[in-house]
Amino acid sequence: MLTEEQKNFYDDQGYVLVRGMFSAEEAAALRAEMHAIAARGDTGDTSSDATWDSVRGEGTTIAHCHDVHFRSAMVTRLLTDPRLTGVAQDIIGPNVQLHHNKMFIKPPEKGSPFPMHQDFPYFPHRDHSMIAVILHFDDAPEEKGCLCVYPGSHKLGPLPSEGTDHHVSTERYPIEGATALPAKAGDALFFHYLTIHGSGVNRSNEPRTTLLIQLRDPEDVPLNNRHASRGQGMMLAGIDPAAKPFTFAWEEQSA
């Protein structure tokens, strides 16, 4: 749960870093689980390197996989952990729905950066209820390419985006002008999908291991049908007041 002060901070700044949501032991176990997924090459239908187009060719890579709860029961349990969903409820409201989740491992010395961007262009929603939470499974100091944000930028609304990876203007919003948010293993960073964010290269000699979960109010309305994912629509807290009768995918295809 957020304190009143944390809630006000989130409303004003568009992010809140919750320290020690998970213990060092829990973070270590989750870190091992992520690295085991990567070692198995269990990245499903997503490409194993998530380096963005606008920074490709600079010798960096980043291991990733989507729908991590379809690969690991530990992650399925994590998605409904009340420590996580409680904070999400404080931000979104009583009903919290899964949009998607993805693991990132930024390898040592050459872990890819994420250009500064808003998440809005990837999955725009009518009411802007969408948030992200990044769970840190090892320490993410600045030299590891921790997340950086432009505080308060969620109040600017959707901004023009550039390139195939939809980053914001690099002249207007350089990463050097953003606030770095170094985190420790077990910390959880929540931010609004309009908050401008990104991260630098991992120049350290250790990987940076995270799980990013995107959550929304089930009554919010997606403005396009891009970015579908397995398990999208699962309720992680509360109920879905807008739930429609269930149909299997093959029934929809044959209808």
Ligand X SMILES: O=C(O)CCC(=O)C(=O)O
User: Could you tell me if 161 and 123 are in contact, meaning their C-beta atoms sit under 8 angstroms apart?
Assistant: no
Q: Which C-beta is closer to ligand X: that of 71 or that of 197?
A: 197
Q: Which residue is nearest to ligand X (CB)?
A: 199
Q: Please enumerate in sequence order all residues whose Cβ is within 8 A of that of 16, keeping only pairs 6 or more positions apart, or say none.
A: 2, 6, 7, 9, 10, 87, 189, 190, 191
Cα–Cα distance, 236 to 86 (Å, whole number): 10
Binding mask 210-249 for ligand X (x = CB under 6 A): x-x-------------------------------------
Shortest separation between residue 34's beta carbon and ligand X, angstroms: 13
User: Could you tell me if 89 and 186 are in contact, meaning their C-beta atoms sit under 8 angstroms apart?
Assistant: no
Q: Indicate whether 135 belongs to the interface with ligand X (CB under 6 A).
A: no
Q: Indicate whether 114 belongs to the interface with ligand X (CB under 6 A).
A: yes
Q: Indicate whether 119 belongs to the interface with ligand X (CB under 6 A).
A: yes
Number of residues in contact with ligand X under rule CB under 6 A: 9
Shortest separation between residue 252's beta carbon and ligand X, angstroms: 29
Cα–Cα distance, 75 to 215 (Å, whole number): 15
Q: Which C-beta is closer to ligand X: that of 178 or that of 236?
A: 178
Q: Please enumerate in sequence order all residues whose Cβ is within 8 A of that of 49, keeping only pairs 6 or more positions apart, or say none.
A: 61, 62, 63, 64, 112
Q: Indicate whether 187 belongs to the interface with ligand X (CB under 6 A).
A: no
Binding mask 144-183 for ligand X (x = CB under 6 A): ---x------------------------------------
Q: Assign residue 206 a region: left if phi > 0, alpha if psi is -120 to 50, beta otherwise?
A: beta
